């Protein structure tokens, strides 16, 4: 059924004229529609039913093996002025980009159904939410969008009321990596994606809209669109404080968002409440605090490493009504991945008989798609149209050395520098080599839709009279010892670090001032019930001045790459930290005894 909004109908007609599908289907988001999509995909083999006794209504999708992750080198930002996209993005002139991708869209939906998906990112009634329409020829994309967003009639009605929406056009094309583009036109609120059926390349509401386009809009409208989880931490006094944390892809957001407190903590009444696991939209409220919503309605999470031990909440929600992509299967047709348990898979992610010589059974970037409400720790506040107040912002990366378990920024400006200085090992979430350290400010390197210099300035701008900003921290769960093993147990035990952070927020914990930030003393982290190897915590909290001087030099060189667009205040903050390190090394400045910071 076409829409009451002429502009929407016109665009749909125009796209249909170009792509020439056999049929056009307007999605209503109903259960019956989802059922019929699944039935169709079971017939074509796009989906395989998993064991209905152990995993009712769970299905497996096997991607083309050349299409299993985001492709950053084919992801482009098309702005009139190249500098507006910045050195952090691949750029293409908008006219050239349209011409290139429109040639691929020409007639590409012949013989197929074209689906029109109106969706809302965020609660339908929230002023912070934003809507879009994705047109796609992939029923797999429609099924995923149904789980990941508020999709269908209610979204279409909001779009008709507002009269505007982000346009997203997608076709799986031939899945030929040589004929693939993920293009963004922020000035036109338009996305065009061709040649990939995979997650972030194809579910346009997610990274394309909710981060790349939204970050652009957020800048002009005074809010933030971030690659962050949102979690509520309830303490024994039944106070819930919300934390937003930015870690790069496959660096622990889903796991922290669903954290289960260690046993002793549980006994004392601590609890984690999941609000979001990937994207956070945040803006100052009338009281000056930052309020955040999760624009998504589902999780598209990393399967490998998910187990009853690491993330029991996730495992519980994956027992029914879940789509699995590129996992392995056991002899009795249950989904399986590395790290799940000791069973042996029989088929790998490509459907071959499992042979360890072929590599892991599940693809390292295999994923599950599941409705957020299936998560046992799902927070009722996730539906709050006003969002939740954020008390702590956390940045973190995957760093085998140097970066301590946790540190606190002295103030907002220093916090922005901590975010801008982030670096992390690359992971399987994007194509390319895994394990290389690269700069990934605020975990937004692949997702910031504009020049990072302007983005840092936008972050700094939130520090203004009347603002009641969150405290900013930096963490590293991935520090390794000499034996190559993680020094910190991670997962639920990360609450021990969050407890210190939240007690810093309420003024109940001490910190030690160092040139790079404020750190807890070893005794400030509660280790009750935890066996850490001798000296591990000291190593985790150690600051190596000489190595940090080299790091600051590298950070400075990186930031200089943004030239004139880099805000002077950030440059000055970098100089302040570098000078403090120099002074500490030369002994020129009187060394502060481990003085408690305010
Ligand atoms: P995206 O969905 O790609 O944005 O990733 P994410 O940040 O949500 O990552 P996720 O929580 O799915 O974690 C990715 C991988 O890191 C999984 O294999 C986890 O098991 C592992 N991981 C998560 N948290 C921790 C932790 O605290 N310590 C260790 N050692 N590994 C972790
Ligand atoms: C990520 O890569 O950060 C993801 C998965 O969350 S995707 O949706 O593919 O971007
Ligand atoms: Mn992500």
Transcribe 408-431 into DSSP letters: E-SSHHHHHHHHHT-EEE--TTBS
How many angstroms separate the Cα of 303 from the Cα of each of 111, 208, 259, 310, 326? 34, 22, 16, 12, 9
- Which tokens go with 61? 């999708």
According to DSSP, the residues that pair with 389 across neighbouring strands are 291
Q: Say if residue 598's pLDDT is above 90.
A: no
Q: What percent of the chain has pLDDT over 90?
A: 97
Residue 316: which pLDDT band, with cuts at 50, 70 and 90? very high
Given the CA of residue 367, which atom of ligand 2 is nearest to it? 5
Give the whole-number percent of the chain exceeding pLDDT 70: 98
What pLDDT score does 68 carry? 97
Q: Is 142 in the pocket of ligand 1 (CB under 6 A)?
A: no
- Ligand 1 near 180 CB (within 6 A): no
Residue 304 CA, ligand 1 centroid: distance in Å: 9
Mean pLDDT of 154-163: 98
Select from 203, 249, 256, 370 the residue to mutate for testing ligand 2; criterion: most ligand atoms less than 8 Å from CB: 249
Ligand 3 mean position to 144 CA, how many Å?
15
What pLDDT was estimated at residue 594? Answer: 45
Q: For residue 547, how many other CB atoms are within 10 A of its CB?
A: 13
d(CA 16, CA 169): 11
What confidence category does residue 590 fall into, taking pLDDT thresholds of 50, 70 and 90?
very low
Give the chain's mean pLDDT: 97
pLDDT value, residue 204: 98
pLDDT tens digits for range 467-496: 999 999 999 999 999 999 999 999 999 999
- 436-445 pLDDT, tens digit per residue, is 999 999 999 9
Q: Which of 300, 397, 447 to mutate to test the pocket of ligand 2 (most atoms within 8 A of CB)?
A: 300
Q: Which CATH number fits domain 6-221: 3.50.50.60, 3.30.70.1230, 3.40.449.10, 3.30.1490.190?
A: 3.40.449.10
Nearest CA to ligand 1 atom 32: 252
Closest to 361 (Cα-Cα) out of 327, 404, 324: 327
Q: Which of 214, 226, 594 has its CA nearest to residue 393?
A: 226
Evaluate if residue 597 carries a pLDDT over 90: no
The Å distance, Cα 404 to ligand 1 centre, comes to 18
Candidate from 182-196, 301-315, 418-432, 581-595 with smallest mean pLDDT: 581-595
CA of 317 to the centre of ligand 2 (A): 19
**Residue 75 scores a pLDDT above 80:** yes
Q: What is the mean pLDDT of residues 585-596?
A: 55
Q: Give the Cα separation of 72 and 431 in Å (integer).
A: 7
pLDDT score of 2: 85
- Tell the CATH topology of 229-296+382-597: Phosphoenolpyruvate Carboxykinase; domain 3 (3.90.228)
The Cα 272–Cα 314 span in angstroms is 13
Closest atom, ligand 1, to C-alpha of 427? 3
For the question of residue 27 being annotated catalytic, the response is no
Is the shortest distance between the CB of 501 and ligand 1 below 6 Å?
Answer: no
Kindly state the average pLDDT of the residues 267-295. 98
Kindly list the protein residues whose Cβ atom lies closer than 6 A to any atom of ligand 2: 70, 199-200, 206-207, 249, 278, 300, 429
Among protein residues, the one with the nearest Cα to ligand 2's atom 5 is 200
pLDDT in the model for residue 1: 57
Please, which pLDDT band fits residue 587 given cuts at 50, 70 and 90? confident
Q: Where are the domains of the chain?
A: 6-221, 229-296+382-597
Point out the ligand 2 atom lying closest to the alpha carbon of residue 201.
Answer: 9
Which one of the ligands is nearest to 487 CA? 1
**139 pLDDT exceeds 60?**
yes
Q: Is the per-residue pLDDT at 592 higher than 80? A: no
Pocket lining: 253 vs ligand 1, CB cutoff 6 Å = yes
The answer, yes or no, to whether residue 591 has pLDDT greater than 60, is no
Contacts 24+ apart (CB under 8 A), 163-167: 163/5, 163/7, 164/131, 164/189, 165/8, 165/118, 165/131, 165/132, 165/133, 165/189, 166/130, 166/131, 166/132, 166/133, 166/190, 166/191, 166/209, 166/213, 167/11, 167/132, 167/133, 167/191
Q: Is the CB of 232 under 6 A from ligand 1?
A: no
pLDDT in tens, 197-229: 999 999 999 999 999 999 999 999 999 999 999
Q: Model confidence at 247, in pLDDT bands (50, 70, 90)?
A: very high
| DSSP helix/strand/coil, 474 | strand
**Model pLDDT for residues 325-354, shown as the tens digit of each residue:** 999 999 999 999 999 999 999 999 999 999
Dist CA 316 CA 272 (whole Å) = 15
Residue 269 to residue 499: CA distance in whole angstroms: 13
Tokens of 69: 């992750």
Rounded to a whole number of angstroms, the distance between the first and last alpha carbons of the chain is: 61
Contacts of 48 (CB under 8 A, 6+ apart): 42, 59, 60, 61, 62
DSSP code of residue 442: G
Distance CA 282, CA 292 (A): 4
Residue 310 CB less than 6 A away from ligand 1: yes
Q: Does the C-beta of 566 come closer than 6 Å to ligand 1? A: no
Q: What is the 3-state secondary structure (H, E, C) of 326-369?
A: CCEEECCCCEECCCCCCCCEEECCCCCECCHHHCCCCCCCCEEE
pLDDT in tens, 508-543: 999 999 999 999 999 999 999 999 998 999 999 999
Confidence bin at 593 (pLDDT 50/70/90): very low
pLDDT value at residue 588: 53
115 CA distance to ligand 1 middle (Å):
33
The 10s digit of each residue's pLDDT in 22-56 is 999 999 999 999 999 999 999 999 999 999 999 99
Q: What is the model's pTM? A: 0.97
Assess contact for 576 and 584: CB atoms under 8 A.
no
Residue 298 has pLDDT above 80, yes or no: yes
243 forms bridges with which residues in the sheet? 231, 392
**How far is 141 from 285, CA to CA, in rounded Å?**
35
Ligand sitting nearest the alpha carbon of 492 = 1
Sign (positive/negative) of CA torsion 569, 574, 578, 583? Answer: positive
For ligand 3, an ion, list residues with CB under 5 A: 249, 278
DSSP state letter for 517? E
pLDDT above 50: residue 392: yes
Q: Whole-angstrom Cα distance, residue 474 to residue 423?
A: 11
Structure tokens at 314: 């996730």
Q: Of the ligands numbered here, which is closest to the C-alpha atom of 69? A: 2
Catalytic residue among 251, 280, 375, 448: 251
No. of helices (H) and no. of strands (E), the chain = 17, 30
pLDDT at residue number 596: 47
Average pLDDT over residues 95-102: 98
Q: Which ligand is nearest to the CA of 205?
A: 2
> What average pLDDT score do residues 149-167 get?
98
Q: Which of 207, 246, 250 to mutate to test the pocket of ligand 1 (most atoms within 8 A of CB)?
A: 250
Pair 230, 391: CB distance under 8 Å: no
């Amino acid at each position: 059924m076409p829409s009451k909004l002429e502009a929407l109908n016109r665009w749909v007609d125009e796209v249909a004229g170009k792509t020439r599908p056999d049929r056009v289907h307007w999605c209503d988001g109903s259960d019956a529609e989802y059922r019929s999509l699944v039935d169709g995909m079971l017939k074509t083999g796009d989906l395989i039913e998993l064991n209905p006794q152990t995993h009712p209504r769970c299905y497996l999708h096997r991607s083309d093996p050349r299409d299993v992750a985001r492709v950053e080198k084919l992801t482009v930002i098309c702005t009139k002025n190249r500098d507006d996209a910045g050195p952090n993005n691949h750029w293409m002139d908008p006219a050239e980009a349209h011409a290139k991708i429109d040639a691929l869209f020409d007639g590409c939906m012949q013989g197929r159904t074209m689906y029109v998906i109106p969706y809302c990112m965020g609660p339908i009634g929230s002023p912070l939410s934003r809507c879009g329409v994705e047109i796609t020829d992939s029923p797999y994309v429609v099924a995923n969008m149904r789980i990941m967003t508020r999709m269908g009639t209610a979204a279409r009605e909001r779009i008709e009321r507002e009269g505007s929406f982000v346009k997203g056009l997608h076709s799986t094309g031939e899945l030929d990596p040589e004929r693939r583009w993920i293009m963004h036109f922020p000035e036109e609120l338009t996305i065009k994606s061709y040649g990939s059926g995979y997650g972030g390349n194809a579910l346009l509401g997610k990274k394309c809209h909710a981060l790349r386009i939204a970050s652009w809009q957020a800048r002009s409208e005074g809010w933030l669109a971030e690659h962050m989880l949102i979690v509520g931490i309830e303490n024994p006094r039944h106070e819930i404080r919300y934390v937003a944390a930015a870690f790069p892809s496959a660096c622990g957001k889903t796991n922290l968002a669903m954290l289960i407190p260690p046993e002793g903590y549980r006994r004392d009444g601590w609890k984690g409440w999941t609000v979001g696991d990937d994207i956070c939209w945040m803006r100052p409220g009338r009281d000056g605090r930052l309020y955040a919503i999760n624009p998504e309605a589902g999780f598209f999470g990393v399967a490998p490493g998910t187990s009853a031990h690491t993330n029991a909440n996730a495992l519980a929600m994956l027992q029914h009504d879940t789509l699995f992509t590129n996992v392995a299967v056991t002899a009795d047709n249950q989904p399986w991945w590395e790290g799940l348990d000791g069973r042996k898979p029989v088929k790998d992610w490509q459907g071959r008989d499992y042979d360890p010589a072929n590599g892991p059974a599940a693809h390292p970037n295999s994923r599950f798609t599941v409705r957020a409400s299936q998560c046992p720790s799902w927070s009722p506040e996730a539906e709050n149209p006003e969002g939740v107040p954020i008390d702590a912002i956390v940045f973190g990366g995957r760093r085998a050395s140097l970066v301590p378990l946790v540190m606190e920024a002295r103030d907002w400006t220093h916090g922005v520098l901590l975010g801008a200085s982030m670096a992390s090992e690359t992971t399987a979430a994007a194509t390319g080599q895994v394990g290389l350290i690269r700069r990934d400010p605020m975990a937004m390197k692949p997702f910031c839709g504009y020049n990072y210099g302007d983005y840092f300035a936008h972050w700094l701008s939130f520090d203004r009279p009347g603002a009641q900003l969150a405290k900013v921290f930096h963490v590293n769960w991935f520090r390794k010892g000499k034996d190559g093993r993680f020094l910190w147990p991670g997962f639920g035990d990360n609450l021990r670090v969050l407890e210190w952070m939240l007690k810093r927020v309420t003024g109940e914990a001490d910190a030690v001032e160092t040139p790079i930030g404020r750190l807890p003393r070893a005794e400030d982290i509660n280790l009750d019930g935890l066996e850490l190897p001798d000296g591990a915590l000291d190593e985790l909290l150690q600051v190596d001045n000489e190595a940090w001087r080299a790091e600051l030099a590298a950070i400075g060189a990186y930031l200089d790459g943004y030239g004139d667009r880099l805000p002077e205040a950030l440059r000055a903050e970098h100089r302040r930290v570098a000078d403090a390190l120099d002074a500490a090394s030369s002994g020129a400045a009187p060394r502060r005894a481990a003085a408690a910071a305010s």
